[in-house]
Structure 1
């Protein structure tokens, strides 16, 4: 990855630190999104589990 960062920085004439900062911010954004989605996913799974349980009890 280090080599690829250097290649991209050289190819597009962008400071390597700028690329590293951008990657870091994107990773933070993804982690934040995942934290926000986790409760929603848990709720959806619980609802699905409840609906399957109810339909198999008949």
Structure 2
């Protein structure tokens, strides 16, 4: 539980830093990179491979 709170506080501090330093435009770019990273990690699983092949 403490670790989750720690992670959330880090994210909150990062967002506050971006907003105060007029870097709010970077937030969507970071979100896209994180989603892309999660997608790459998720597709490394062998159970997902048949579903990926049907998409392409």
TM-score for both structures, normalised by structure 2 = 0.44
Bigger radius of gyration among the two: 1
Higher relative contact order (CA 8 A, sep 6+): 1
Considering fraction of residues, name the structure with more helix: 1
TM-score (norm 1): 0.42
